Amino acid sequence: MDSRIKELIDLNFGKYTSISEAAYEYLFDNYHLKKCLAREMIVESGNRAKYFYFVLSGVQALYLLNEKGEKVILGFSFQNSVSGAFDSFISGKPSHFFLEALTPSEMIGITKSKFDELFERFPEFYRWRAHFMEEILLGRISREVEMMTLSAKERFDAFIKRCPPELLQIPQKYLASYLSMKPETFSRLRALRD
């Protein structure tokens, strides 16, 4: 059993449910290891997402394109987090979003059928699913409140406080888009902190 993958499973599932040896075995038998180069597309808009990913390393961005063809960043995934085009993974329909590896990345993925089977075979995982959905919902609400009520500087400061270090290594234009500001504004605010 690969210790990195066991640790990733423990970090994501273990905080909400106990993981039996049978569940570990199921996860190890059914994961797919994906390695991506920097700038590699994982899911393209209009295609179906085949996997729910857990990130071993690297940074990925979820985005859509605006009417000018510019990337509008909706979120990031990074080491020890989950990743995917969840709209498509859940619905089985083509995704509205792009998922791109911004840095070399390594992830483990599980297909929709095996993901659903996990919960049927190990009902204790439903507790994780409920907490995961709550975290996503509360995170989304918090982000919307920040975007609607905080100034650019306040959004920048809030982001920097909770930002994992690897996100600060990606091009600033992605972070600026995520914070809904011009790259020049992001650069100026970052320079004020240095």
Query: Would you say residue 151 lies in a domain?
Result: no
Q: Where are the beta strands (DSSP E) in the chain?
A: 32-36, 41-43, 51-57, 60-65, 71-77, 82-83, 98-101, 105-111
60-65 and 71-77 beta bridge pairing: antiparallel
Mind listing the pLDDT tens digit of every residue in the chain (194 residues)?
Answer: 589 999 999 999 988 888 999 999 999 999 999 999 999 999 999 999 999 999 999 999 999 999 999 999 999 999 999 999 999 999 999 999 999 999 999 999 999 999 999 999 999 999 999 999 999 999 999 999 999 999 999 999 999 999 899 998 899 999 999 999 999 999 999 998 87
* Overall domain count for the chain: 1
Position 178 scores a pLDDT of 96
72-42-169 Cα angle (round to 5): 60
**Rounded Cα–Cα distance for residues 122 and 175 (Å):** 38
Burial label for 57, CB within 10 Å (0-12, 13-18, 19+), is: middle
Query: Would you say residue 90 lies in a domain?
Result: yes
Query: Would you say residue 101 lies in a domain?
Result: yes
Query: Would you say residue 168 lies in a domain?
Result: no
Position 169 scores a pLDDT of 87
Global confidence as pTM: 0.93
Query: Would you say residue 179 lies in a domain?
Result: no
- Left if phi > 0, otherwise alpha if psi is -120 to 50, otherwise beta: which for 57? beta
Query: Would you say residue 180 lies in a domain?
Result: no
* Closest to 38 (Cα-Cα) out of 175, 186, 171: 171
Could you tell me the two tokens for 176? 């600026």
Q: Which strands sit side by side in the sheet containing 71-77, from one edge to the other?
A: 41-43, 98-101, 60-65, 71-77
Query: Would you say residue 105 lies in a domain?
Result: yes
- CATH number of the domain that residue 61 is part of: 2.60.120.10
Burial label for 133, CB within 10 Å (0-12, 13-18, 19+), is: exposed
Domain that holds residue 79: 3-125
